[in-house]
Structure 1
Amino acid sequence: MPAGPPQLVGKVLREAQGVADGAGYDVVTHDASDRDDGQWDADGWKVCFQTAGGQRGGGRPVLDLGVVRVDSPCPAADGEAVPWPVMPGVAGASLVRAGEMLEAVGVRKVRPESVYTDVVLPADPSTWRVCFQEPAPGEEVENPQYATAYLKLAPPDAACPEEPYARLRPEPAS
């Protein structure tokens, strides 16, 4: 009989299975989120919860592991939704500051564009201000490491228009 179950929380599923087997335990797994996804790739999942699962027909003791995808945060409790971060509101911030705010929630890809159709974005728009963003502030960002934030920027010396794709210098009336 094993001395006691190994602590597997935080480990990638494949490693957890190996450690459990070496300690004399069989493993069963389930999706620890509210989704019920299958765990076909042991390298793509990590352990969030573990409980003793009894024994199989008098054989080895069983550990039941609640797992989520490796890139996901663990839910607060087994079976709850994954707590994805929400998109921060970056309107009014410089592109540099907006990038820092987005990086803080895990968003790595930022696509800056000029908010004005008649103004070209410079090679270095770091001092330009964000006027509009997509995803919207407060929107949940599932898998932020793969998300792209689209930011519409205005030059430092121009105000933000009421909506994107405006002209800074309206064409003269004929």
Structure 2
Amino acid sequence: MNPYNTPVLPQPWWRTTPAVLALLALVALIGALSFGFGFLVMIAAVVAVWVLPRWRWFTKAGATFGALVLLTVGAGLGGQLDDNGTAKSEAVTQNKGSDSVKAASPSPSPKALEAADYTEKPLDEAVKLARSAGFTTAHHDAAEEGRTVMVRSLWTVCFQKVDTTAETINFAAVKDDEPCPEKDGGPLPWPVMPEVVGATYDTALKDLKRAGIDLDSVQLDDVYLDLDTPTAEEAAEDGDEWRVCFQSPDEGTDVTSDTAVSLDLGRWTDVDLVQHCPKAKDTTYDIPANDPDHDSGNSTTGGAGSTGGSSSSSSGGSSGSSSGSSTGGGSVGTVHPGSFCSPQGATGVTKAGTPMICGPASDGRNRWHS
């Protein structure tokens, strides 16, 4: 059998050129109906172009580009038909609607927006709620200073001005720790410091509260150098025994959010040796013998002189070589641990009955210790 005379077998129909071209044409048709489905058909057509026919590579590349063009054209025609159909549908709807309007009575005007009450809310929250309700917002300082609002979350709404026609709300706010003025643009009504010097601690608290001052911000100090400062709870336990010796600020001063209110307290009863406030701060001792300048030689509690010499105690006792020295002793009664003391070597007891002695501490000064 001569191989040169062997007839060529016919190809299957689906591998013929007409079949592939028909598949490419199907890309345009399906793309006009559905772009997504047409895209999938285009992928299948491209694969068929490169696998099925016995075309040269540049022919296959041209057919691939043609498939993309056919999909674009088909999708464009489909979109054009859809747009026209939509336009016609809208036109019919509008015509029907206009006919209905002619036959029916005029419809009412749109309902005006209603604003909620946003006062006492944080400014940032009020702005968010108002905008979600359909309003355009603005804000400014409610105080007379006309300050610029920098961080809305740190301001609180005092007043609001609503314009339902323009659908706007203008908020007037102050800082979170400030009181609202009586009217927009007015002065801030800060509380005024009352005069509490000479009053008991209980009375002073009542006067401060009546003036509108936050009691939690009041700081306490003790005018006695040999006693620790009481806490608010400790002072309240014996509020009629503690007296206000000094105050800050002075009477008539505005107490703003930056003002530090402090009370210097002294405590005494009928049995205490000191029953009055000092003339200045940090110059008095609850127990006079604790005062370094106190002359223990004139004390009725005993002990040696604090400045040396031959002075003797009025309570009697032998005077030795150390009786005039600064290390003389003697009992001074009830003392407070850690407080300054004099003279060195003096003895005392705490309120709990623990014996104490006056001697040098870590800071080099004489303090009471056990």
TM-score (norm 2): 0.40
Which of 294, 318, 324 matches 1:171?
Answer: 294
Shift of 1:94: 3.1
Post-superposition shift, 1:65?
1.0
Matches of 2:191 and 2:162, distance apart in 1:
31
Map of 2:242 onto structure 1:
128
* Aligned-partner Cα distance in 1 for 2:260–2:205: 11
Matches within 5 A, 1:1-174: 2-52=112-162, 61-99=167-205, 101-102=207-208, 104-117=212-225, 119-121=226-228, 124-125=234-235, 126=238, 127-143=241-257, 147-157=259-269, 158-168=275-285, 169=288, 171-172=294-295
- Cα root mean square deviation, aligned: 2.8
After superposition, give the CA deviation of every residue in 1:104-160 in whole Å (9 maximum; x if it has no partner): 52142333222243x4137544432111111122211111xx653222221223112
**Aligned partners of 1:8, 1:85: CA distance in 2, in Å?**
25
1:38-81 Cα distance to aligned partner (Å, 9 max, x none): 222222111111113687xxxx6221111111221111111111
Instruction: Note closer, same or farther for the CA distance 1:100–1:107 as it changes in structure 2 (3 Å cut).
Output: same
Which ranges of structure 2 fall in alignment gaps of 5 or more residues? 1-110, 270-274, 299-306, 308-370
CA positional deviation for 1:97: 4.5
Q: Distance in 2 between matches of 1:52 and 1:42?
A: 19
Distance in 2 separating the partners of 1:133 and 1:39: 34
Higher relative contact order (CA 8 A, sep 6+): 1
Structure 1 residues 74-95: Cα deviation after superposition (integer angstroms, max 9, x where no partner): 1111111111111232223333
- Structure showing greater Rg: 2
Larger % of strand: which?
Answer: 1
Secondary structure in structure 1 of the residue aligned to 2:218: strand
**Amino acid across the alignment from 1:46:** T
Distance 2:149 2:190 in 1: 20
Shift of 1:96: 4.6
Distance 1:148 1:107 in 2: 11
Q: Secondary structure at the match of 1:29?
A: strand
Q: Which runs of 5+ in 1 are unaligned?
A: none
TM-score scaled by length of structure 1: 0.78
